[in-house]
């Protein structure tokens, strides 16, 4: 009988312990601090999520190329999110107004951004804008508009010496050179009327932008380097815009007529405008006139394939935006970053 009672007691105890276990506090509760240095048991607790705030200031939303760029940048940064790392992205439109962009930078700093990706409205204002960001201890990733020193010196120590500032872009000299080579490589080297020189018009982007300066300069240099004589009929500012490209080209075709053999556009948006003016003037690309741009917008790639544009140069918005994001993520992780990251242009011809 005693034996039977002992067994019963043992069973009751086992049952009581099991019941206790079931009602024990959930392991999610933080373990009491035992003073030991052992890592806390995070067992089944939800992982801690870190959200980084990234501010992106674009010089102007109303720009074909920068629209592709900013959409890709946002999508790619979002694609890098994990269960524990999130990115809270704010993208603002500088409306091509440096005062507006300065306010936006101030707001980013007040909002406590963890990194700022900056597409400057005015590269001449780079110093002041970047100094504010650096003083606030925020990594600054410059994109698309490379700031140059007063002497045009690329290693602009004043800005880019800083360990948390870098420039991600493409070397605009390369794009200009490719434009010139596309013309130089034609069977008649761009000299349609056979008078021994290539007569061209140049439609430029924003004159403060080094992309515009270099494309203008290096496209012509490539022709000259190939031993070709050139004649500039007109050189006008189109500010990267389709409507301006169309207007300038239409005026020049009316003024110079058949003398215009090549239309150089610093970008494809302006080349699209120029293409419309060329058609309206009854001219035919590939027969009595040549047309080149830069960016390789989808429409322009199609036109090159169709022969309604002589060529363009791929401005790799995917490569550039991904590099900018990768560098941002590295800076957020506290990793060392370089001062320059270059992405190649690619020639696009039929």
Q: Which residues bind ligand GAL (CB under 6 A)?
A: 63, 65-66, 144-145, 205, 209, 211, 240, 267, 269, 294-295, 315
Quick one: 144 or 177, whose CB is closer to ligand GAL? 144
Q: Minimum Å distance from CB 314 to ligand GAL?
A: 10
Q: How far is the CB of 173 from ligand GAL (least distance, A)?
A: 13
How far is it, in rounded angstroms, from Cα 49 to Cα 82? 9
Instruction: Identify the burial level of 310 via C-beta atoms within 10 angstroms of its C-beta, where 0-12 means exposed, 13-18 middle and 19 or more buried.
Output: buried
Q: Residue written as tokens 């009595």?
A: 288
The token duo for 290 is 């040549």
Nearer of residues 209 and 310 to ligand GAL, judged by Cβ: 209
Q: Give the count of beta carbons closer than 10 Å to the beta carbon of residue 128.
A: 11
Q: Which residue has the tokens 């403060």?
A: 208
191 φ, ψ (degrees, to nearest 5): -90, 85
CA-closest candidate to residue 292, choices 224, 221, 207, 350: 350
Tokens for 186, please give them.
Answer: 């034609």
Asked if 286 and 293 touch (Cβ cutoff 8 Å), the reply is no
CB 40 to ligand GAL: min, Å: 49
Q: Would you list the DSSP string of 188-253? A: TTT-TT-SSSEEEEEEE--TTSHHHHHHHHHHHHHHHHTT--EEEEEEEE-TT-HHHHHHHHHHHH
Q: How far is the CB of 204 from ligand GAL (least distance, A)?
A: 11
């Amino acid at each position: 009988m005693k034996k039977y009672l002992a067994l019963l007691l043992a069973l009751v105890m086992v049952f009581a312990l099991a019941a206790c276990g079931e009602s024990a506090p959930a392991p999610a509760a933080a373990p009491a601090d035992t003073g030991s240095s052992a890592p806390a048991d995070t067992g089944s607790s939800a992982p801690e999520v870190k959200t980084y705030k990234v501010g992106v200031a674009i010089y102007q939303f109303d720009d074909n190329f920068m629209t592709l760029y900013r959409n890709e940048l946002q999508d790619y940064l979002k694609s890098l999110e994990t269960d524990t790392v999130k990115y809270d992205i704010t993208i603002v439109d500088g409306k091509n107004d440096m005062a507006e962009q300065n306010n936006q930078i101030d707001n980013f700093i007040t909002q406590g951004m963890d990194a700022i990706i900056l597409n400057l409205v005015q590269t001449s204002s780079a110093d002041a804008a970047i100094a504010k960001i650096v003083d606030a201890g925020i990594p600054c990733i410059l994109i698309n508009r490379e700031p140059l020193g007063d002497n045009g010196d690329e290693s602009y120590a004043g800005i880019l010496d800083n360990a948390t500032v870098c420039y991600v872009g493409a070397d605009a000299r390369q794009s200009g050179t490719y434009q010139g080579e596309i013309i130089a490589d034609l069977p008649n080297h761009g000299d349609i009327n056979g008078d021994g020189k290539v007569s061209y018009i140049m439609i430029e982007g924003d004159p403060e932008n080094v992309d515009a300066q270099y494309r203008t300069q290096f496209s012509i240099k490539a022709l000259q380097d190939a031993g070709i004589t050139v004649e500039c009929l007109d050189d006008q500012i189109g500010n990267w815009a389709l409507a301006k490209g169309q207007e300038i080209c239409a005026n020049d075709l009316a003024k110079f007529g058949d003398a215009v053999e090549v239309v150089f556009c610093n970008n494809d948006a302006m080349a699209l405008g120029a293409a419309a003016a060329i058609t309206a003037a009854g001219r035919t690309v590939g027969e009595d006139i040549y047309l080149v741009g830069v960016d390789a917008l989808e429409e322009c790639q199609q036109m090159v394939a169709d022969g309604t544009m002589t060529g363009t140069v791929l401005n790799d918005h995917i490569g550039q935006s991904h590099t900018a994001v990768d560098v941002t993520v590295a800076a957020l992780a506290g990793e060392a970053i370089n001062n320059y990251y270059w992405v190649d242009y690619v020639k696009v011809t039929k």
